[in-house]
Amino acid sequence: MPLQTLFRNAILRIEEIWKNKRTMHQKKTAKQTECGNPPLMATPVVAGFPSPAEQYIESPLDLNELLVHRPAATFFVRAAGDSMTGAGIRPGDILVVDRSLEARDGSIVIACVDNEFTVKFLRSDGERWYLQPANRKYKPITFSEGMELRIFGVVTAVIHQFVKLSNGKGT
């Protein structure tokens, strides 16, 4: 059988499976989509030649369910500045922060240093704690007598948009 025929048959079979799966989950998906939860593809995307079998869809994706594990202790904050670009945090990104997690050496934290908020890696050299940026243009924040450090939470995720769409409010 020629390759083109095999490929066409595979696409037709996928379309048939897709229709059956869609019918089975139509009510559930419709309700979740009405609530604003877009669907999640069942297989991860490969940065190469796409496979026609990658058309299967799981149930809709709820970003709160994925990113917020302790709702009462979680907040979102928008990043500013470029001191954490090496960690994948860019200006305008939204950080998901969990206040219930214990900050450890290597955690990315939201900290308040002398009443100034910042996001940095929390580091320890065994004798002292310091805040480490992820950009060589910036120096670590070390603490001397009289300086105050408060940790507000641990960053658990970053939401980075490649295309910023208008929300009808001018932003």
How far, in Å, CA of 77 to CA of 70, rounded?
Answer: 16
Show the tokens assigned to 68: 């917020």
55-69, 75-89, 109-123, 132-146: the lowest-pLDDT one: 55-69
Whether the per-residue pLDDT at 5 is higher than 50: the answer is no
Show the tokens assigned to 164: 């910023």
24-33, 42-51, 71-80, 148-157: the lowest-pLDDT one: 24-33
Active site residues: 83, 120
Look-up of token digits 């059956």 = 20
- Name 13's bridge partners: none
Q: Is the dihedral of CA 40, 44, 49, 54 positive or negative?
A: negative
Q: What is the pTM of this model?
A: 0.66
Q: Give the length of the chain.
A: 171
- pLDDT tens track for 70-93: 989 999 999 999 999 999 999 999
Instruction: With CA atoms as reference, report the closest residue to 103 among 95, 94, 111.
Output: 111
Mean pLDDT, residues 95-124: 94
Query: Which contiguous run of DSSP H or E holds residue 120?
Result: strand 116-124
* Residue that wins the pLDDT comparison between 33 and 124: 124
Q: What are the residue ranges of helices labelled H in the chain?
A: 3-34, 63-67
